[in-house]
Chain A
Amino acid sequence: MKLLVCINKTPDTTARISFTSDGTKFDSSGVQFIMNPYDEWYALVRAVELKEQLGGTVTAVHVGSADSDTIIRKALAIGADDAIRINKAPTDAFDIAHQISVIARDQEYDMILLGKESIDYNSAEVGPMLAELLELPFVGFANKVESNGQQAIVSRDIEGGVETAIIPLPVVVSAAKGTAEQRIPNMRGIMMAKSKPLKVVEPLEVAQTVLPVQFELPSGRTTCRMIDPDNMEQLVELLHTEAKVI
């Protein structure tokens, strides 16, 4: 089974988020970056598990500049066999999907896995865009991904139950919680990753389709106000005049 896993680089979950002074860009100074947890814990680990069950290869693909190489090495340390970096700081989801589709088109991957979304912009767009560009079926937000080598059996939680789809390969699947368990790379994996191939390819020109106009931080969390239970009138008053919900 030939598997492709798309991995993204995102700010660490504990990073303090701020924007450049004109508010049009994320300010990355002093921010530590990690592999997008949905890509790492679920898509990548599940791909490695499927390879362990059915044989085959796992390739990790990333659109980004050379400073992403540590994250790519981590993917190799966790168990990907080789990696491709498309050498470009991506502009938007369509750019990423487009760049990856070029790589994927003539490689005939049986399954392309990626996280349900990135924890930076959370737009969950790359998966469906990539499937569309490749004219492949897409299942999003999977909680369980199985395969027998011919088909993918993908389940996801829906309102009041579980939906299971059986899809002939090839397919694009975005993975959510439940798909796999986080795997911490061990020292041997980290050393082995050093000798695994990481191919750098140049990007294709893609017109920018989305132009961020303004980023804003949500207003800070306000503190909790305690109201005496005997003072219901004050509560109603505050809900009306301050919170403006009634």
Chain B
Amino acid sequence: MANKEDRFQSHDHYNVDALLEQDHLLARDAVRTWVKQSVSPIIEDYSERAECPVHLFKELAEIGAFGPSLPIKYGGGGMDEIAYGVIMQELERGDSGIRSMASVQGSLVMYPIYRFGSEEQRIKYLPKLGAGEFVGCFGLTEPDHGSDPGGMTTHIVDDGDVYILNGAKMWITNAPQADVAVVWAKDQEGAIRGLIVEKGMSGFSAPEIHGKWSLRASSTGELVFEDVRVPKKNLLPDVKGLKGPLSCLSKARYGIAWGAIGAAMDCYDSALRYSLERQQFGRPIGGFQLTQKKLAEMITEITKAQLLAWRLGTLANKGEATPAQISMAKRNNVHMALEIAREARQIHGGMGITNEYPIMRHMMNLETVLTYEGTHDIHLLITGHNVTGLDAFRG
């Protein structure tokens, strides 16, 4: 089974395309074509074997999926935030794991080096990351500090020309492949600092985490630091405190708000086609009211999510998208996609649980997407804090 032709057709109930500019449409179509050629034919297989299709790092770079909204000079594409959004949407239409490979590289590795790095660091790392010659990862979460990263225990001690880094990070996307890791650690004053740690530095290892039932085509690992001597020139000079990693997460969450729409569209597209082809009681199941209810609600929710993402994108282009607005879109759109995956699974009946259709893969992937980059509930608390002015995190 599996590896059938990708018959995805786009659905645009509100003519949202008319809100997009020419380069957004071209970017979207280019990535869609690439996904049909390079991702769809192999993804079920890699996902089933829980293997990361590492050859796609180079292809993602060639198409321009790494940091598309960063300046061309630093390995980016010089595009706007909506272009970045539609690229993420199309990647995740293929697979959330593939989108994660690109999100991490662009928003969590290239972006902090661009935003907080020295010119020397930018020149050294960004073009190689943009070209896929280097793979990057982002280490914030720790075994004992997930939703509360401010409690991290990974730390650095000043020792002449170097910082001595100790601690461990957990759940790190791309870690097993990474040539460079952007790592967040506390200095002796307790301030959170960012460091660029390179593969091969003595005392640094990145073992893979096995046994995931979600995001199986993206590799996830730990980062272990035992007296790693990191040259001082590898410290990101221009940021101190939690706002460093949080600003990166805002970028990535923004991309996820778009990406989730892609996964939802793929599930809807498959369910709609199936409902017209599958006959029961002598007629297509799409003719039954209960199936229509599911389909109608799916396209309604997708349309709302598209408009939310588009509006967020226009705000982001003006530099006006707030972290709270990004939280709302990430939370809403990912949850919407997961619900659609579940409904789509029902429409496919028994076939829906097989790898003949992408539904279960999307559904399992979306469980990660619901949790990483701030869990569903944490984003609710961010909105709650934003509207009431009262911080519920610390009780």
Is A156 close to B, CB under 8 A? no
If A70-B25, A74-B26 touch, whether A187 touches B79 (CB-CB below 8 Å) is: yes
**Which label, helix, strand, loop or mixed, suits the secondary structure of the A interface?**
helix
- Interface flag for B129 (CB, 8 Å): no
Give Cα distance in the complex from A187 to B84, angstroms: 10
Are the CB atoms of A187 and B22 closer together than 8 Å? no
> Is there contact, CB below 8 Å, between B10 and A187?
no
Tell me if A190 and B30 are in contact (CB < 8 A).
Answer: yes
- Segment at the interface with A among B61-69, B180-188, B287-295: B61-69
Q: Are A191 and B22 in contact (CB under 8 A)?
A: no
B87 nearest in chain A by CB position: A187
Shortest CB-to-CB span from A60 to chain B, Å, is 14
B352 interface residue per 8 A CB criterion: no
Contact A190/B26 with A184-B33, A184-B34, A184-B63 known, Cβ cut-off 8 Å = yes
Q: What residue of chain A has the Cβ atom nearest to residue B65's Cβ?
A: A187
Q: Which of B23, B26, B62, B77 has the most C-beta atoms of chain A within 10 angstroms of its own C-beta?
A: B26
Q: Which residue of B lies closest to A32 (CB)?
A: B10
Which chain A residues (29-69) contact chain B, with CB distance < 8 Å?
32, 34, 69
B152 contact set on A, CB distance < 8 A = none
Question: For the complex, is B235 an interface residue (Cβ under 8 Å from A)?
Answer: no
Question: Are B83 and A187 within 8 A (Cβ)?
Answer: yes
Docked pose: A34 CA to B23 CA in angstroms: 15
Is A173 positioned at the interface, with any CB of B under 8 Å from its CB? no
Do A185 and B26 form a contact, CB below 8 Å, given A191-B77, A191-B79?
yes
Contacts A184-B34, A188-B72 hold; do A77 and B64 have CB atoms under 8 A apart? no
Does more than half of chain B's interface fall in helix, strand or loop, or is it mixed? helix
Asked if B135 is an interface residue, CB under 8 A from chain A, the answer is no
**Residue from B33, B63, B65, B78 within 8 A of A191 (CB atoms):** B78
Are B77 and A187 within 8 A (Cβ)?
yes
Contact B10 A188 (CB under 8 A): no
Most chain-A CB neighbours within 10 Å: which of B7, B22, B34?
B22
Which residues on B sit within 8 Å (CB–CB) of A191? Answer: 23, 72, 77-79
The answer to whether B27 has its CB under 8 Å from any CB of chain A is yes
Q: Tell whether A186 pairs with B63 under 8 Å between CB atoms, given A70-B25, A73-B26, A74-B26.
A: yes
When C-beta atoms are compared, the residue in chain A nearest to B62 turns out to be A186
Q: Cα distance A239–B68 when bound, in Å?
A: 60
Interface code A164-206, partner B: CB below 8 Å = 1, 0 otherwise? 0000000000000000001011111011011000000000000
Pairwise interchain contact A194-B9, C-beta atoms closer than 8 A: no
Given A186-B30, A188-B72, check contact A194 B64 (CB 8 Å): no
Task: Tell me the residues in window 91-147 of chain B with beta carbons closer than 8 Å to chain A beta carbons.
Answer: none
Q: Mark B1-27, 1 if CB is under 8 A from A, else 0.
A: 000000101100000000000110111
Alpha-carbon distance between A34 and B29 when the two chains are bound, in angstroms: 10
Cβ of B169 to closest chain A Cβ, rounded Å: 30
- The CA of A14 and the CA of B9, in the complex, are separated in Å by 7
Contact across chains for A190 and B27 when beta carbons are under 8 A apart: yes
Contact with A along B38-72 (1 / 0, CB 8 A): 00000000000000000000000011110010001
Measured CB to CB, the nearest residue on chain A to B37 is A184
Q: Within 8 Å CB of B62, what residues of A?
A: 186
Residues in chain B near residue A187, CB distance under 8 A: 27, 30, 63-65, 68, 77, 79, 83, 87
Chain B residue at smallest Cβ distance from A186: B64
Residues of chain A lying within 8 A (CB to CB) of residue B78? 188, 191
| Complex interface: chain A residues within 8 A of B63 (CB) | 184, 186-187
Is B30 touching A185 in the complex (CB atoms < 8 A)? yes
By a beta-carbon cutoff of 8 Å, the part of chain A in contact with chain B is 14, 32, 34, 69-70, 73-74, 77, 182, 184-188, 190-191, 193-194
A-B contact pairs, 20 of them (CB 8 A): A14-B7, A14-B9, A32-B10, A70-B22, A70-B25, A70-B26, A73-B26, A74-B26, A182-B33, A186-B63, A187-B27, A187-B83, A188-B64, A188-B77, A188-B78, A190-B23, A190-B26, A191-B23, A191-B72, A193-B26
Considering the complex of A and B, which 6 residue pairs feature the smallest CB-CB distances, nearest first? A187-B64, A187-B77, A186-B64, A190-B26, A14-B9, A70-B22
B→A interface (CB under 8 Å): 7, 9-10, 22-23, 25-27, 29-30, 33-34, 37, 62-65, 68, 72, 77-79, 83, 87
**Can you name 15 extra interface pairs (CB under 8 A) apart from A69-B22, A193-B26?**
A14-B9, A34-B29, A74-B26, A77-B26, A184-B34, A184-B37, A186-B30, A186-B63, A187-B77, A188-B64, A188-B77, A190-B23, A190-B64, A190-B79, A191-B78
